[in-house]
Amino acid sequence: MKVNRRHFLGSAASLAAAAPKAADIEAIRKEFPRALGQVYLDAAAHIPLPRYTAEGMRRYIDFHTYGPGEGRGEWAAEALRQVKPLFARLINAKPSEIAFVSCTKAGECAVVNGMRIQETGGNVVTNDLHYAGAIHDYVGRRKAGMDVRIVRHKDWRIDFRDMERAVDKRTRLVSITLVSNVNGWVEEARRLSDLAHAHGAYIYADIIQAAGAVPVDVKALGLDFAACSSYKWLQGARGAGYLYVREDLQGTVVRDLCYPGYVHFNYEPWVPERDPALEEMPYNAPKSASRYEPGNINYTAYAGHSEALKRMLAIGVENMYAHSKALCDRLRKELSGMGHRIITPPDAASTMVVIQVKDLKGTMARLSKANIQVTSAGKNRIRISPAIYNNMEDINRLLAAMA
């Protein structure tokens, strides 16, 4: 992860200086009611909905319940206008490069389908630390005839040389998860983007475990496409997500698969007199990433998310990352001392710690009794993912329950 860290994470000293003070964290915690009543260390699964996101959603619902009076209509219109520029700012993209999608997987499918990889005889290279839902999709495509190459991890890391061997002149897309939900592994995205581009291919990244958790710069990383949902580190609700498509690739490398917009009929009786300069059914294709949007979206969720993005940008993702990373560092030290095997690489610049335990059922029972929320997976894995609303006392309680 050395290349990525230089590009967008900064030095350890600067991150330590950026960490919010305890008083600030306590104020932030109050915005997350569930995190006050429970030791919630599971942001990588689903973040507790903060008050400000819920309030934004309620205000939008009020607009539709009571009408546009008392500023409700103006607020709703502005919230939906702002949300793309806010998210674009978070990942260093242009608003015109952002589309609304229902979820991360929908964004990745829009890219893969739009690139016509199978019908042109190309191949996709990915690995088994990519999101399991995406891999399942690729396995289905493989069964349908697509050349899909899935590199296997070695001791919970992806060896760049293995990815390099899988890429060839027919590779159209390298598809990765920037921060793996499996164990917090962080891909060498800049190096992989250079590899893809050197072979005339493109690179896609699932950033659902990165956006809002660690500073992400899609330009510095050389990403061509990226997607995420908003219900994890981005402090939003399910059913709302984002697709990033580099501006110069829109409508060309990724062709249009749907054609959003409305036709205005140019003939009687629709108009009193036809405009001879226009077709009878004029077609105006969107000139931005909105061309990949299917139609109506979860407007309520996006209205709420505009409030979340404002708060996150005000706090600073680098500050949130510094706070969460300090909690992860403590977890690494203490859990390792208890004899648990940590499968998150020690140099991974992510905000989760994944361990292997001998008695998964018994450990999860103790954590549940202590009112601690984490994720279990497989036969022996536990994923712990602290966020901005957690404090060191939460970590102490988890360690006591694990002892």
Q: Given this model, what pLDDT does residue 20 score?
A: 76
- Sheet arrangement for strand 98-101: 98-101, 241-245, 225-229, 202-206, 171-177, 123-127, 147-151
In this prediction, residue 18 carries a pLDDT of: 61
For position 12, what pLDDT does the model report? Answer: 41
Selection from 242, 202, 208, 240 nearest residue 97 by Cα:
242
For domain 56-313, the CATH class is alpha beta
pTM: 0.94
In the block, tokens 């493989």 appear at 142
Distance of alpha carbon 224 from alpha carbon 214, whole angstroms: 19
Residues of the chain with pLDDT under 50: 1-17
Per residue, the 3-state secondary structure of 219-256, as one string, reads: CCCCCCEEEEECCCCCCCCCCCEEEEECHHHECCCECC
The pLDDT tens digits for 87-116 are 999 999 999 999 999 999 999 999 999 999
CA distance 399 to 250: 49
Tallying the residues shown for the chain, one arrives at 403
Confidence at residue 11, expressed as pLDDT on a 0 to 100 scale: 42
- Looking at residue 321, its pLDDT comes to 97
Q: What is the pLDDT, as a whole number, of residue 215?
A: 97
Concatenated DSSP letters of 164-205: HHH--TTEEEEEEESB-TTT--B--HHHHHHHHHHTT-EEEE
pLDDT in tens, 165-192: 999 999 999 999 999 999 999 999 999 9
Q: Dig out the tokens for 281 from the structure.
A: 């059914």
First and final C-alpha spacing in the chain:
31
Q: Note the pLDDT of residue 184.
A: 97
Quote the CA–CA distance of 16 and 12 in Å, as a whole number: 6
Q: Is the dihedral of CA 203, 204, 206, 207 positive or negative?
A: positive
Please name which of 372, 44, 354, 84 lies closest in space to residue 212, comparing C-alpha atoms: 44
Residue 295: predicted pLDDT: 85
